[in-house]
Chains A and B, each alone.
Chain A
Amino acid sequence: MAYVALIPLLPALAFAVLAPLSRAVRNRMRWVGVAGVAGSLALSFAAFAAVWPGGDEGEATYRASASIASVGGVDLALGILLDPVSAVMLIVITVVAVCVQVYSLDYMRHEERIGWYYAVLSLFTAAMLALVLADNFLMLYMSWEVMGLCSYLLIGFWHEREEPRKASQKAFLTTRVGDVGFAIGLAVMYATTGSFAFDVVLGSAAGWAPGVATAVALLLLFGAMGKSAQVPLHVWLPDAMAGPTPASALIHAATMVAAGVYLVARALPIFEASGIALTVTMVIGATTALVGGLLALVQFDLKKVLAYSTISQLGYMFVAIGAGGAVAGMFHLVTHAFFKSLLFLGAGVIIHALHTQDMREMGGLGRRMPWTAATFGAGALALAGIAPFSGFWSKDEILYAVWKGHHYVVFALALAAAFVTAFYVARLWFRVFMGAPRTLAAFAGHADTDHGDEDHGGHDGGHDESAADRRGETRWPMVLLGVITAGIGFSAPFFSEFLGHAGHWPDPMIASVSMGVALAGLGAGWWVYGRRAGAVDTEAIKARFRPAYSALDAKIYFDAAYERLAIRPFIRVTESLAVFDRIVVDGVVNGAAVLWRTATDLSWGFDRRVIDGVVNGTARLSRSAGVALRRLQSGRVQTYQRYVLGALVLLMLLIVVKGA
């Protein structure tokens, strides 16, 4: 089964092939990227089949390890662990990655750096696959960081514009704030167990001092919060939407942002040993689920609605794990990966067609783009939690786990978030697909093709036909994801059993409550946005709830607070330190040189003339530094040279004389 190692290696190889090529060649060779992930997809299915039927039989189906260093007698390794959880993740990642890469063939075809796009996409996929196959925390962390790099490169893909440039930096730094916690967590873990291996660390976690377990768990959680955009480290994800939409689908919806959830699920024994860390996870998840949902309500940018929705849904997954329903959390990760990437791919088609991301400029697309509307609709219903679409099943399991754990407050929060989710889904749907077209582009008809134009860089979209469905490469990935979204929910009980837990069909009470809430949310959304135009005056609602709306509109002040309390003070401190360094620290040095010259009595045992000469020279030079930029006369250089060599000889003599 050595082929398992090829699963991450094939895309990595694709990157290694593409990266050193010249731009023109690389652009032609993008099929290498597609071939890489396609190979991974095939091998992932083989690996999945090998793990089948899962459960305890699937545990550690395959292991392999290669040491990359031996430090103090401990081997640090890149190791593979194939078990049911990683097998599921492999399928999710490779299916979405293949869909995104194929979709991008059409979507990105006008980009002059499409080859680089494919190279980075491949490296990202390799890192994500390595992450889920890792058998130790060190390798997981390394893949984690490489993904962060790819995310940075793709968010900033159109770096000629300022917005993507800033967003990429913000994303890298914000997630790195979390990574500081992750890294310290690794250090504590290693100091406690002398290993990073899952076996050793997780096997012994139950026996750690409770304080240590809590510390490690919370530090890992902090890292996960950065990567998975949990409050208060969520601020980077909406901005990350400045990248190409298919990349958002893969990285910022389906896979990378879910890595935090995966980390916590993997490290569950540590969280369980702590206890309190589980509660913290749940509270942060619930807060994020609600806050993300509320923020999605007030967005007009189609992609930002989806971004806040992702934040909110990731919060759901943390709630599940915190409530003891790790399998439910993982199932939601899987269903969300499919339906959210589907929604993003749909959004990409719309953005390309209309040249805008502003929902206020859309409308009536349902008739014009039936394929997009149908597939997007499946994703939207899944997100809202309507049976039989996949999101219903996984959300139901999460609510069930929370209820069974007697966390009634969190249950109420989760239901509120579910209502809000359904509401913003309805808002999006009616604004985009229903009603009357609000712009000429949305009205379709005119074709403003600009295929011959060379200046394509800089816009996500901005150069395509009109409000019409796309063909081929764009359509079938969406159809595939749509079919998965419609059908995968029925696998819920089998999914649990595959991961080694008892499976069950939805609990009638919870299912009816959750469906009721979702329908209520959709209904309320229809009431406001779905009836004839102007039936409800949204401005009046905004005015009535002005303080709340202002807060949401200002992203609940998180960004502003970071700007004012952290970033600007930091810049001020660095500037003062730079001045301090020049005036005080260096001033002491220059001052000492001046003093030294005056205190010629002070002798280190040098020849008096040497000290005098050199010091006089220095002091003079220091004083005139930065004022007069005189040319050095060669005569003086020779003098210095003599002094220097003289000093060395004298020092040598001193040693010899003292020694003898």
Chain B
Amino acid sequence: MLPLLTMIVFLPLLGAVVTALLPKSRPDLPRQVALGVTLADLALVAILVARFDVSGGFQFMERASWVPEAGIQYLMAVDGISLPLLFLSALLMPIAVIASWKIDDRPAFYFAMLQLLAVGMNGVFVALDFVLFYVFWELVLVPMYFMIALWGGPRREYAAIKFFLYTLFGSVFMLVGILALYLHPAGGTFDMIALADSGLPAGFQWWVFAAFFLGFAVKVPVFPFHTWLPDAHVEAPTAGSVLLAGILLKMGTYGFVRVSLPILPEASASWAPFVALLGVISIVYGAAVAFAQTDLKKLVAYSSVSHMGFVMLGIAAGTAEGLNGAVAIMFAHGVITGMLFLLVGMVYERTRTRTIAEVSGLSKQAPVAAGMLAFASFASLGLPGLAGFPGEFLSLVGAWRSELIAPGYVIVAAIGVLLAAAYMLWMVQRVVLGTQSGTVEGITDLTRVEIAILVPLVVITIGMGVYWSSLLRYVDPAVGALLASMGAM
């Protein structure tokens, strides 16, 4: 049988190398290669999804010794929690390539970086050996750093360095955690599956959790570690923002689900109230700050902080509903926020501004763009029937059910749903409706290509919102297995 996961992860690496070597005389080749490679990668993931057995636990496992002296393995597999995220990553890649079609500054370097990013993103979601996991985790930083620093906005230097150092700062603690697990007598391996059965003492777990927490919390990002996010988003090119919000943030919450919960179950329980507290603060704080933003991208960036807070709440709950909800938000947020960033980028391309007051009144001049933006906004504010709802609803229900979380948190989080409606509608009111501003006058509506990259996201948003099982049929069994393995938590 083919090593499907290896192919999925490393095909973009091959693409990156090829792209980098393309002759400078053909500036249109890099994007074509990148599109071909990312579409092929998506096709491979589609095969993976089709062959996936929903009740089969970890599948498509590839295990080989890598550095035998240190017990480091080349270990990859997917389960129902990582599969949706891998799919999301593969789905957003070709969209990101098309959204970058007009990049003409060093295109070979740009599209090589974009594909290198895919290697890291795909890798994180399939790696089950800590060293491999860590390599992919850090690998993601490099191309994203360059995308912001070279193709970003006016403050790109600052934003890129801040993004890089902040997340590196977090991942250093993660590395400490990995080493601690490896050096502890009860651990002694980098194998994440084996570590889940190792029965580490609770006191030790508590400290390791703290180390991993810093690494993951910066990535999510959870209040108060979030300030790199608005800067990175505002300066990043559209594709960078889409992937940053769509995939990179999920690496943090995925880390909690894949590492903290199964390997450190006792610590997860004792840390849960604190994690939930930060989650709830992120929900309300992110929403409130989003409300005050005048820049469209910043508004969406802070809304991400708020939405990721719901993920943290669901994870902290440690119940079936909460975890299903957490994964559902991760997926839905990737799709919905992807749409929002794409649209903001499309508007920016036409008006050269993202200031809300300067792009008001889109609906008359560009009804399709305005309609899509309104649709994505309603999806984002959690309207039932669209993808944003199931996750937030389940995480609220799961948190209420959890014995680890005080009811007061859930009530505050539910108010966050109201705030989401407030800042989103207030944005729609000004940008979509509103009186037409001068910059909007005479702009063209979306092109067919632009509509074509939005349509798959629209379809998924509706499909998942109406039929939750389209996603949860993969997630729920994996969550069940995870909870069972955590035992009497």
Give A contacts to B, CB under 8 Å.
Answer: 23, 67-73, 76, 141-143, 145-146, 149, 156, 159-160, 165-166, 169, 172-173, 176-177, 179-180, 183-184, 186-188, 190-191, 570-571, 573-575, 577-578, 581, 585-586, 588-589, 593, 604, 614-615, 617-618, 621-622, 624-626, 629-630, 632, 637, 640-641, 644-645, 647-648, 651-652, 655-656, 658-660
Residues of chain A within 8 A (CB-CB) of B378 are 149
A142 in contact with B385 (CB, 8 Å): yes
For B421, give its contact among A23, A176, A645 (CB under 8 Å): A176
A625 in contact with B414 (CB, 8 Å): no
B162 in contact with A622 (CB, 8 Å): yes
For A173, give its contact among B71, B399, B421 (CB under 8 Å): B421
**What is the CA–CA distance of A3 and B466 in the complex, to the nearest angstrom?**
20
The B contact surface, by secondary structure, is helix
Residues of chain A within 8 A (CB-CB) of B179 are 655, 658
User: A68-B466, A656-B72, A659-B72 in contact; A177/B288 too (CB < 8 A)?
Assistant: no
B70 in contact with A165 (CB, 8 Å): no
Residues of chain A within 8 A (CB-CB) of B472 are 69-71
B384 in contact with A180 (CB, 8 Å): no
* A-B residue pairs, 4 tightest by C-beta: A72-B320, A659-B70, A69-B468, A142-B384
User: A176-B421, A177-B418, A632-B150 in contact; A71/B227 too (CB < 8 A)?
Assistant: no
The minimal Cβ–Cβ distance linking A147 to chain B, given in whole angstroms, is 10
B142 in contact with A645 (CB, 8 Å): yes
The minimal Cβ–Cβ distance linking B158 to chain A, given in whole angstroms, is 4
B135 at the A interface (CB under 8 A)? yes
User: A71-B321, A180-B417 in contact; A625/B155 too (CB < 8 A)?
Assistant: yes
For A190, give its contact among B69, B154, B401 (CB under 8 Å): B401
Residues of chain A within 8 A (CB-CB) of B212 are none
Residues of chain A within 8 A (CB-CB) of B67 are 656, 659
Residue in B closest to A587 when the chains form the complex, CB atoms: B227
B:385-442 near A, CB below 8 Å: 385, 389-390, 393-394, 396-397, 399-401, 410-411, 414-415, 417-418, 421-422, 425-426, 429, 433-434
B288 in contact with A165 (CB, 8 Å): no
B400 in contact with A187 (CB, 8 Å): yes
B480 at the A interface (CB under 8 A)? yes
> B143-179 interface mask toward A, CB cutoff 8 Å, 1 = contact, 0 = none?
0011001100011111001101110100010010011
Residue in A closest to B392 when the chains form the complex, CB atoms: A183
Residues of chain B within 8 A (CB-CB) of A593 are 165
B383 in contact with A145 (CB, 8 Å): yes
Residue in B closest to A626 when the chains form the complex, CB atoms: B155
B476 at the A interface (CB under 8 A)? yes
**What is the CA–CA distance of A589 and B228 in the complex, to the nearest angstrom?**
9
User: A68-B467, A621-B161, A629-B154 in contact; A73/B410 too (CB < 8 A)?
Assistant: no
Residues of chain B within 8 A (CB-CB) of A656 are 67, 69-70, 72
User: A72-B320, A146-B385, A574-B291 in contact; A165/B165 too (CB < 8 A)?
Assistant: no
Residues of chain B within 8 A (CB-CB) of A69 are 324, 390, 468-469, 472, 476
B363 in contact with A71 (CB, 8 Å): no
The minimal Cβ–Cβ distance linking A131 to chain B, given in whole angstroms, is 11
For B383, give its contact among A146, A615, A618, A645 (CB under 8 Å): A146
B:195-225 near A, CB below 8 Å: 223-224
For B142, give its contact among A169, A187, A644 (CB under 8 Å): A644
Residues of chain B within 8 A (CB-CB) of A618 are 161-162, 165
**What is the CA–CA distance of A3 and B414 in the complex, to the nearest angstrom?**
37
User: A71-B394, A187-B400, A655-B131 in contact; A614/B165 too (CB < 8 A)?
Assistant: yes
16 A-B pairs (CB sep. < 8 Å): A69-B468, A145-B384, A146-B384, A149-B378, A165-B433, A169-B425, A173-B422, A176-B417, A183-B396, A190-B401, A578-B289, A578-B292, A585-B224, A586-B227, A621-B158, A632-B149
Task: Give the interface centre of A172, A581, A585 by most chain B CB atoms within 10 Å.
Answer: A581
For B288, give its contact among A23, A156, A577, A652 (CB under 8 Å): A577
**What is the CA–CA distance of A593 and B168 in the complex, to the nearest angstrom?**
13
B480 in contact with A72 (CB, 8 Å): yes
B138 at the A interface (CB under 8 A)? yes
**What is the CA–CA distance of A11 and B356 in the complex, to the nearest angstrom?**
36
User: Given A72-B480, A165-B434, A637-B146, 9 more contacts at CB 8 Å?
Assistant: A173-B422, A180-B415, A180-B418, A184-B396, A574-B288, A622-B161, A655-B131, A656-B70, A659-B69
**What is the CA–CA distance of A160 and B411 in the complex, to the nearest angstrom?**
37
**What is the CA–CA distance of A68 and B146 in the complex, to the nearest angstrom?**
43
**What is the CA–CA distance of A325 and B389 in the complex, to the nearest angstrom?**
35
B155 in contact with A629 (CB, 8 Å): yes
**What is the CA–CA distance of A621 and B164 in the complex, to the nearest angstrom?**
13
B100 at the A interface (CB under 8 A)? no
**What is the CA–CA distance of A143 and B164 in the complex, to the nearest angstrom?**
45
Residues of chain A within 8 A (CB-CB) of B158 are 621-622, 624-626
> B341-385 interface mask toward A, CB cutoff 8 Å, 1 = contact, 0 = none?
000000000000000000000011001000000000010000111
A184 in contact with B292 (CB, 8 Å): no
For B69, give its contact among A67, A71, A660 (CB under 8 Å): A660
Residue in A closest to B397 when the chains form the complex, CB atoms: A187
Residues of chain A within 8 A (CB-CB) of B467 are 68
B489 at the A interface (CB under 8 A)? no
The minimal Cβ–Cβ distance linking B128 to chain A, given in whole angstroms, is 16
Residue in B closest to A72 when the chains form the complex, CB atoms: B320
For B293, give its contact among A191, A578, A626 (CB under 8 Å): A578
B:180-194 near A, CB below 8 Å: 182-183, 190
Residues of chain B within 8 A (CB-CB) of A72 are 319-321, 324, 476, 479-480
Residues of chain B within 8 A (CB-CB) of A581 are 227, 285, 289
**What is the CA–CA distance of A655 and B425 in the complex, to the nearest angstrom?**
50
For A71, give its contact among B172, B320, B384 (CB under 8 Å): B320
Residue in A closest to B421 when the chains form the complex, CB atoms: A176
The minimal Cβ–Cβ distance linking A6 to chain B, given in whole angstroms, is 17
Residues of chain A within 8 A (CB-CB) of B86 are none
Residue in A closest to B320 when the chains form the complex, CB atoms: A72
Residues of chain A within 8 A (CB-CB) of B417 are 176, 179-180, 183
**What is the CA–CA distance of A574 and B285 in the complex, to the nearest angstrom?**
8
**What is the CA–CA distance of A23 and B371 in the complex, to the nearest angstrom?**
12
B397 in contact with A186 (CB, 8 Å): yes
Residues of chain A within 8 A (CB-CB) of B479 are 72
B473 in contact with A70 (CB, 8 Å): yes
A585 in contact with B321 (CB, 8 Å): no
**What is the CA–CA distance of A205 and B151 in the complex, to the nearest angstrom?**
60
B161 in contact with A617 (CB, 8 Å): yes
Task: Give the interface centre of A71, A618, A630, A640 by most chain B CB atoms within 10 Å.
Answer: A71
B141 at the A interface (CB under 8 A)? yes
B70 in contact with A73 (CB, 8 Å): no
The minimal Cβ–Cβ distance linking A56 to chain B, given in whole angstroms, is 33
Residues of chain B within 8 A (CB-CB) of A146 are 383-385
B394 in contact with A191 (CB, 8 Å): no
Residues of chain B within 8 A (CB-CB) of A648 are 135, 138-139, 142
A604 in contact with B172 (CB, 8 Å): yes
B429 in contact with A165 (CB, 8 Å): yes
A67 in contact with B469 (CB, 8 Å): yes
Residues of chain B within 8 A (CB-CB) of A578 are 289, 292-293
Residues of chain B within 8 A (CB-CB) of A645 are 142
The minimal Cβ–Cβ distance linking A20 to chain B, given in whole angstroms, is 10
The minimal Cβ–Cβ distance linking A476 to chain B, given in whole angstroms, is 34
**What is the CA–CA distance of A145 and B226 in the complex, to the nearest angstrom?**
31
**What is the CA–CA distance of A629 and B383 in the complex, to the nearest angstrom?**
41
